[in-house]
Structure 1
Amino acid sequence: MKKTCLLVLLVTMTLAVLTGCAQLKSITFEKKHPEPLESFVPQDLSAKSLSVKYAPKIESFVIILDASASMETAYTGIVNKGHPKFDVAKDIISRMNKTLPEVDVNSALVTFGHGFFTPLKKTFIVYELTHHSRDLLENALNMAIYPKGSSPAGNAIADASNQLLTSVGQNAVIFVSDGENLIGTPLEKIKDLKELYGEKTCFYTIHVGNTPEGKEALRKLARSATCGFSVTADEIASSGNMANFVKKVFLTDIPKQDSDGDGVYDEDDECPDTPEGAIVDSRGCWVVKGIAFEYKKWDIKEEFESNLTNIVDVLEKNPDLQIRIEGHTDNIGSMKYNIDLSQKRALAVKDYLVEKGIHESRISTTGFGFKHPIAPNVTEEGRALNRRAEIVPIR
């Protein structure tokens, strides 16, 4: 009898362990979708070609990610259709993260949901408010557990509010969810957020869901915050639309300055005092545009005269302006030889200007040889660019 009882007990314990392992496995291992997520190429909001540069308009932001059971179902929208909503949500956050320039802001990531073995109202602070970097958020998203359990959205909003207590500037809370079965009185928690921070904190929602009820629930949350707005994943999935979203939420634009009006912004202008009307290169430097001196030569050919006319016009319009003509060469030959050659190139330009009526007392010359290349001397194209003459205004 005793042996029978022991046998029954052993079988029962074994079944319990196996059942527990099976449940744990179903929670721990993510389900894999057969197709990869769509590729995404972000707009470069820090590109030098832009007419504005961007600065952060917020000090801190908190992302709230829905990791509840409803996010496990397939997304029926456009972007990444058929993938679990949770994967689509993480991808949208990743697109936002890749589009946001490297600016000085703080961030935190909060999730809610988390499975059968967690309390009903469980939230999780993936990382607390800290200086933001792309790698920080990307790594956190990759580590986010697979969705299970309930949707204590209100608790997550309260967590986000607490994370912002150390922030003294403007803030943003970005809530990413399908909007289904949200509990924890999220509307009340947004009310608490607004009472604590007022207009210092705006609330944005991104709907990654399949139901109009969920979409309306998120719109209602955003409206209740008075500062912020609601969008869907599909609306901001493209690189252009995501860039617009990032600019609205995170950035303020500062028009770039071009003090001398030469078409090159001050931050990139290596020659900031160019006179009006002068033809400049990509560096903002006044060059004898269009002249490509042949190898070991310094003569001014007829086809260059139209470009030299620009220099004459600028000098005639600025009678008090004096200039220095600087000659340059490629690196073929000795420095001594190239110093002499570059001086001859500078003198050739001076002689042309004097012939056109510019008094020689207004023009000085110097030759630098190959001391100041503007292109690599390893190719013929680069060497041709280095065989040049530049005009430096002397006021």
Structure 2
Amino acid sequence: MTRIRPVLFTCLVAVLIFAGCAGKSAEVFVPSDLNGSIRTGHLVQKADHFLVILDCSGSMAELYDGEKKFVLAREAVRNMIAGIPETEMNFEAGLRVFGLTMNPFVESTSSLVDMGPLDKAAYDKALDKVTFATGKSNLALAIAQSSDDLDRTTGEISLIIVTDGKETDGEAARALEVVKNTYRDRLCVYTIQVGHDPNGQKLLERLSRKGQCGYSENLDNVNSPKAMACFIARGLLKKGPDQDEDGTPDRIDLCPNTPAGASVDDTGCWQLTGLEFKTNKADIAKEYYPIMDKAICVLKKTPGINVLIGGHTDSRGPDKFNQELSQDRAQAVMDYMVKKGVAPERLSVQGFGAAKPIAPNDSQEGRAKNRRVTLTPIAVQDAESADRQ
């Protein structure tokens, strides 16, 4: 794994978990499981509260892709709720609709789920009430009322608007400005457009920009399990803490002080990734020199650390032989680094034999991974203290 610099979080962890974030949904929606990513610390909760505004106005009775738009919108929200992970999550959630009135000439908005601890079953039951779409498309009214829905919230808020973007009064952006001014940096706005009305798209993109920390998406791009998981990861979750920014979250990082530019394994420890040793051999083939050159470059850019070079073997062979072989592998790396200009006093070696496997030894692939060399950074002052003891 190559160290990753901080960037704008755009589904970073989702890239690791699922390949792609778009596509048509299957007949039976089975949500992608994000709970594993929560347990490893790759993802953590970002929003404390989220409120969905669902468009059930007259324009949502129109057909899109062979189905009424309100049905597609309703099921998208249902799929989102189903896909929200439950491990270590503590969301408060609400659902507001506009339209859904028997009088097509009336402006109407109502809360189907009042803000409170997320109850997936109750939320799902509330969505069952969305059986038709009629009434004026007054998105501004629903946005204005959302301010009251959120009045008792104290943490970060995700406002999620699902609509075709067709509004009757043109006041949605102004209404959102008022809400944004009330909740300021606590509020992010995410929009999902049903259909491809160009004016609707412009409106929803404008709304998400006013939120300053959300984004706008089309239903076509969130209607598969992987794509919806991506939307959830971006809208409700965030990348977990990674103090040394090596791409391995702190929760599972066994080596939390990896220097910048270092390649790490799945446990977050500096390793000469790609360097392989043949069975019972300690010599290093020329093809692996660039791997060591990269580590040398990191060392030269980080003069404040020394390095313990650790040699490892697979589990085959006697313990004494493996201990000596692992020591020889570590020494081979040190010799190369010294030859390339690294001061020998910055380097030390230790053979660990087969004592620290990173993969099962019951397969050829696993054994190959275990025949490796690791690099453990040691602060210069710590190394000097150890030498005096």
- Is the shorter-chain TM-score for this pair beyond 0.5, marking a shared fold? yes
Shift of 1:147: 0.8
Hey, what does 1:32 align to over in structure 2?
A: none
Q: Which has the higher mean CA deviation after the structures are superposed, 165-174 or 305-314?
A: 305-314
Q: How does 1:57-206 map to 2 (within 5 A)?
A: 59-67=48-56, 71-75=60-64, 81-93=65-77, 105-112=91-98, 125-132=111-118, 139-140=124-125, 143-147=128-132, 150=135, 160-169=146-155, 171=157, 173-177=159-163, 194=178, 198=182, 200=184
CA distance in 1, matches of 2:300, 2:194: 65
Provide TM-score, normalisation by structure 1. Answer: 0.56
Residue 158 of structure 2 contacts residue 236 of structure 2 at CA under 8 Å; is this kept in 1? Answer: no
Residue deviations 1:281-302, cap 9 Å, x none? 5655444455422223334455
1:137/1:333 Cα in 2 relative to 1: closer, same or farther (>3 Å)?
Answer: farther
Residue deviations 1:247-296, cap 9 Å, x none? 9x957988987858xx6567586545456776655655444455422223
Consecutive unaligned residues of structure 2, counting only runs of 5 or more, are 1-22, 381-389
Consecutive unaligned residues of structure 1, counting only runs of 5 or more, are 1-36, 76-80
Residue 248 of structure 2 contacts residue 266 of structure 2 at CA under 8 Å; is this kept in 1? Answer: no
Residue 240 of structure 2 contacts residue 249 of structure 2 at CA under 8 Å; is this kept in 1? Answer: no
Hey, what does 1:366 align to over in structure 2?
A: 350
Shift of 1:380: 0.8
1:131/1:302 Cα in 2 relative to 1: closer, same or farther (>3 Å)?
Answer: same
- Work out which structure has the larger RCO, using CA pairs closer than 8 Å and 6 or more positions apart in sequence: 2
Hey, what does 2:369 align to over in structure 1?
A: 385
Hey, what does 1:10 align to over in structure 2?
A: none
Q: Secondary structure at the match of 1:295?
A: coil
CA distance in 2, matches of 1:316, 1:228: 44
Does 2:224 match 1:238? no
Structure number, greater radius of gyration: 1
CA distance in 2, matches of 1:274, 1:181: 52
1:186/1:279 Cα in 2 relative to 1: closer, same or farther (>3 Å)?
Answer: closer
CA distance in 2, matches of 1:163, 1:204: 17
Shift of 1:62: 2.4
CA distance in 2, matches of 1:170, 1:288: 41
CA distance in 2, matches of 1:292, 1:162: 62
Q: How many residues align?
A: 332
Q: Secondary structure at the match of 2:112?
A: strand
Shift of 1:108: 0.5
Provide TM-score, normalisation by structure 2. Answer: 0.57
Hey, what does 2:315 align to over in structure 1?
A: 331
CA distance in 2, matches of 1:347, 1:323: 13
1:126/1:291 Cα in 2 relative to 1: closer, same or farther (>3 Å)?
Answer: same
- C-alpha RMSD over aligned residues: 5.9
CA distance in 2, matches of 1:173, 1:306: 49
Shift of 1:38: 3.6
Task: Work out the percentage of aligned pairs sharing the same amino acid.
Answer: 31
The residue type equivalent to 1:295 in the other structure is: T
Match of 1:298 among 277, 282, 298: 282
Shift of 1:328: 1.0
